[in-house]
Chains A and B, each alone.
Chain A
């Protein structure tokens, strides 16, 4: 006769009972989408977490949900393999049995202040009462913000690009002006005032610049999704890398327009100020 402990049905039944027991007692954990995908986990699965690669202290947790990590520009290159659990469960997992005091230690405390409270004054009060605690606001001062530096870098590149584009626009307008040398001479001979001609070339420059700027904005709008999707796939993040906003588009047009007018006027200046005969090369 087969011993009950060797009977596969009995073993399976015992395993199922144990699993039900674990599921009943295992605390909940939320895991990131990236962790779920990497470890092929789904809601309801029971996982074991250990404090060391060799298994150290370990506990079982039931996956209660899968979340999309909040996009963090400071960590966009990092793989977000992470989970969230209740603090007592974490402390139970990581507490060193030889150091009971570690059960009472946490890394940081986040504090939401009432509206109108000065974060600096609050930090000062806390530090005065507990000098060994570091208190700092979650918002970075501009000098500590790497994105403020990147912003300045991108602005500098934009300015340089604008100089290059202006030189090309001027060259094009010069060619256009030379093309119309004789036309301008005839118009001046028939009595059209240089001021009117100047206005017309200014308007032409304006139209070209605004047309170019609008095309650029349209191109940026069209490629925005493409670039975001590429980088989001590249870094497995929900972070938005490019956002073409209305004020940004307006700024591009506002910068381009006066540049176009100036380029048009500068390119046509000699045609409108020189003698008419010189325009006929006589």
Chain B
């Protein structure tokens, strides 16, 4: 009989304790798996969100991500659009506004003005694209009309007069929080709505042609206008990784370490207590001529069976748990609706397996030493007679 078969027999003989141990490892393993998903999940999701917008470079007035108008943004936007690797340039600015529709309470919203280098920017009456949050709040959709009142920005002294706006379509704004209402108009229309002849963009988004190097374009933009700051999506993610997401990376690191230590201690304790209970049995096996190495291999397999079964079951349980925990964390205010904290990546699975292999081996060390060094005769006398 091989050590694996011996271990299997022992495990199935003590079914209740084996099932409880596996249940414990499953729960702890699920938590560990989730912490591994959390460690990079937010970054992966954030990078995915950035890339899904279709723009690879963003240009801002200041270092960091403060929303400040870029002086003479039209000139720099035109210069960027002429770069050979640039496919499109979008100038974006935004302000608060209020929307009103019949029978519905007024809804505060973000009014976005956008000018694309590939399309003509013209004020053709207030035609807006809205997101579904605003649509639901005012019960409006494509074809509807509602009253839009731009709220005063820091520069404006008075409120703007309300304007009737026509909804042309629903739009999905990637960085919208689940409760954010947003309306999008052309930059020319935006200028008309806020009654300002000249409005500088707060951010310029740059879409590159396929195969272009974003880092090279950011350097070129820096040469064009040294007073602006251009960031590739990778740089934005790296900056958020250093600042905004550090907490979740650290908490996942701390909890991963704790859950691994917890799993190790408990499996080691269970195996040790189990060995202490079976000292007579093991001494008898040794007396029958079964080698220490086979006994050690059997105990290692026992540990592997308990930890392995738990680790495998931990994956689906962890997946379900991740959905629940993600739902809790996504209740954070002002969080983009499409941002997730727990994102699967193959690396997490590999680390999960590696951690449990090491845990199973480490947890079996002391019980193996105990079983290998026990004095056969005295143990048999004490345990059997």
Contacts and interface: CB of A to CB of B under 8 A. Distances in A.
A106 to B, nearest CB: 11
A31 to B, nearest CB: 20
B328 A171 contact: no
A143 interface: yes
A78 B243 CA distance: 7
A163 B262 CA distance: 13
Nearest to B22: A167
A145 B329 CA distance: 12
Contact of B333 (A78, A146, A161, A172): A146
Determine which residue in B28, B246, B255 has the highest number of CB atoms from chain A within 10 A of its CB, and name it: B28
Interface stretch (B13-21, B112-120, B216-224): B13-21
Q: Is the interface of B mostly helix, strand, loop or mixed?
A: helix
Given A164-B31, A168-B24, A146 B247 contact: no
Interface in A170-227: 170-172, 174-176, 178-179
A132 B321 CA distance: 45
Given A156-B325, A157-B255, A164-B28, A143 B158 contact: no
Contacts of B325: 153, 156-157
Contacts of B324: 156
A171 B31 contact: no
B17 A179 contact: no
Contacts of B244: 77
Nearest to A178: B277
Given A77-B246, A132-B152, A164-B262, A171 B21 contact: yes
Interface string A152-169: 110011001101110110
A168 B266 contact: yes
Given A149-B329, A152-B328, A171-B24, A160 B270 contact: no
Contact of B158 (A132, A153, A175): A132
Contacts of B329: 149, 153
Contact of A149 (B159, B269, B273, B331): B331
Interface of A: 76-78, 101, 131-132, 143-146, 149, 152-153, 156-157, 160-161, 163-165, 167-168, 170-172, 174-176, 178-179, 231
